[in-house]
Structure 1
Amino acid sequence: MNHERIESNPKIMDGKPVIRGTRIPVELVLRKLGAGMAVEAILADHPRLTDADIRAAQAFAADYLADEDIVYG
């Protein structure tokens, strides 16, 4: 999983994945989307973000989940 727009650095947000060049966690972006917030509203709240950053956060989460072992039952 190579995500150019996402970085994890132990010195930034305790190593949580963030949008590169910011301290905005991927988790925050995903939670806002999950709560029904429009992309335009997220961009207004965080002017340093771009549409591509939002898509990168979603792709990062999808790739992360694709690598998870799922146990049913």
Structure 2
Amino acid sequence: MWKTVIVIAFAAAAGTLELPRAYRRSIKEAVVYAVMLAAGTVLSIAAMRTVDWPSPLLLLVPIFRPLHVWIESLFG
């Protein structure tokens, strides 16, 4: 629990220090910075809590299964 609070505190500190400068330069830059900071915070908390994520390679299996079947029928 304390680790999560520390990560959120560091993210809030980074946001309060960098977002005003980024906003002055460009609104797009501020939005991108905020989105990436939020994503990094969420992923850091998930990594600390050792959340079991499914492998991204499982997304490729349905894509390449027809190719595998075709090559297997061709050479098998």
Q: Which has the higher strand share?
A: 1
Verify same fold: TM over 0.5: no
TM-score scaled by structure 2?
0.32
Q: Which has the higher helix share?
A: 2
Larger radius of gyration: 2
TM-score scaled by structure 1?
0.33
